[in-house]
Structures are given as C-alpha cells and as structure tokens.
Amino acid sequence: MRGAPTARQSRFGAELRKLRERAGLSATEVGRLLGVRQAQISNMEAARFGVSPERIRTLAHHYSCTDTRLIDALVEMAARRERGWWEEYRDILPAALLDLAELDHHGMALRTGHTSHIPGLLQVPEHAREIFRNTVPAYTAPEIEHRVSHRIKRQSILHRDAPAPYRAVIHEAALRMQFGGAAVQKRQLRHLLDISEYEHITLRVIPYAAGAYPGAGQAIYYVHGPVPQLDTVQLDQSHGPVLIDAEAELDVYRHVLDRMEAIALPEAATREFIHDIAHDL
C-alpha cells in the first residue's frame, strides 16, 4: 500500500477509472468480474498500490477497450517503477516539484510557451536563483539553493542520449527581463543561443511587434505522453505547478501553443533577434 502516490501513479489510476466509467461498469461490478472486493478496484484507481501488466490487459478486455496503443502505454507506465534522481529531494522540496521532474523524465516530446520568464529547462543557475529570491513568501537561502539544484538537474533530459524533442516559444518580454542584472541576463541569452543549436531543440521568439496572442498571460508546459490520452499540461502558479490532463483542456492548450508558434519568428530569425538583444546589454 502506497502512502503518497506520485502524480504519475495517480494519473495511471485515473486512466483506469476512465476506462471503467466509459464501459458503464461500477467498481463493484468489476470486482465481481475479477473475483475481488470492490475496495481493491478502488485502491487500484486511487493508485494506492501497483497493478500488474496482466491485470491491466484483463481490465481492458472487460472494458471492451480496443485501443491497443493506449493499453500498451498503460502497461509500460505500470512496469516502469524506477526511483529517479528526484527522490533525493523527497523530504526537501514540495511533492509537486518532484512530480514535475518525473513528468519531464517520461515525456515523449516537450512544448512550452512563456511570456515573462525564460522556461525553467533553459535557465542558467544565476537566472533561476534570482527568480527564487523574489518569491512570496520568501525562501530561506537553503531553500533557494535546493530549488536551483533541482531545476538544473531537470535540464539533464535535454542532454541525455536520445533526448525528447523540445519546442519553446518565448516572448520578447522574457528576453528583456533582467533577473540578476544585465550581466546575468547576457549570460542567459548566450545560453539560449548555444542551446538553440541543438538538433532536438526548437527555439522561437514572439516579438512585441506581433501584438496580442492566445496564452499571453500564462506559462504553458505541454508534455506529450506515448499516446495523446496520456498528455499532460503544467501551468505555473504562485503556489506551485499545477498539472492538467482533462482531454478538453489538453486540446485547448495544444491550440494555444499552435497559435503561439504560428506568429513566432523562424528559428534563424530568432537567433539573430536574441543576439541583437544580448549585444545591446
């Protein structure tokens, strides 16, 4: 029995519940089909304990689910129970930040759109440190360093073997926000120029001249799962990251990011744009 399921484990249980509900079956009815008590079905859907691949396929059969890609993805999701590097922060940082690192780790493709901040996965340590110094309520010095360390370790997904494709759209405002002063911002912009050369990274800028666009008031981080049903959106809030997985909302954020990319500068023009801003600092 798990004490505190991670967001990934809870998502897995929620997907099992969705399949059951779409089949029009109650937890009690499914328990009878499997020869177990209703409480066991409820515990599986609440991610209080793991589920074997065989049981997942049995449930899918009873639910008349013929989406083999989804079933295979759920089986793979249940089978991967490794403890990642983020577990070292388990008693140090909020669980939501650990869930975010786990989300990064398993993402098949990553997209983000930011207006006033450089995306966390692209921040240099000095830039990240200055952001964490300006929170309400204020963090202590050790809390700031733990958050900076965690953020930089998250960036390892961009440098591992066979990294997931990463597409970022950043507004000009974020490029001109001098967190830590001009010298730090210049170092940050140089880092963006360097990392934009990576084959799996697509970086594009929306200039002020582009005017209004959908999503201008939000920082959106979209993580593609192995199938669209397992996609996740993370939104930054003052109290911490919020994860969204409702299909209708996922569709909205996909379209918002599409619109942002449609008005952003091409990659080559983006690099020239960032270079000019850095040159002026």
**Average confidence score pLDDT of the chain:** 94
What's the pLDDT at 268? 97
| Angle, alpha carbons 163-164-168 (nearest 5°) | 115
Per-residue pLDDT tens over the stretch 145-159:
999 999 999 999 999
The least confident of 133-137, 142-146, 161-165, 185-189 is 133-137
d(CA 231, CA 154): 19
**Does position 239 have pLDDT exceeding 80, yes or no?**
no
**Section 193-211 average pLDDT:** 97
What's the pLDDT at 72? 97
Per-residue pLDDT tens over the stretch 88-127:
999 999 999 999 999 999 999 999 999 999 999 999 999 9
Compare 81 and 211 and report the one with higher pLDDT. Answer: 211
- Exposed/middle/buried for residue 261 (C-beta within 10 Å: 0-12, 13-18, 19+): middle
The dihedral of CA 264, 202, 131, 176: what is its sign? negative
Compare 2 and 257 and report the one with higher pLDDT. Answer: 257
What's the pLDDT at 217? 81
Single-letter code of the amino acid located at 180: G
What's the pLDDT at 1? 64
Nearest one of 13, 205, 9, 221 to 109, comparing CA atoms: 221
d(CA 124, CA 190): 10
What's the pLDDT at 50? 85
The least confident of 53-57, 103-107, 213-217 is 213-217
What's the pLDDT at 210? 94
Residue whose entry in the numeric block shows the structure tokens 């897995």: 12
Compare 201 and 214 and report the one with higher pLDDT. Answer: 201
**Section 151-172 average pLDDT:** 97
Full-model pTM: 0.92
Domains parsed from the chain with CATH numbers: 7-79 (1.10.260.40), 94-280 (3.30.870)
Compare 171 and 3 and report the one with higher pLDDT. Answer: 171
225-246: burial string, b at 16+ Cβ within 10 Å, e else: bbbebbbbbbeeeeeebebebe
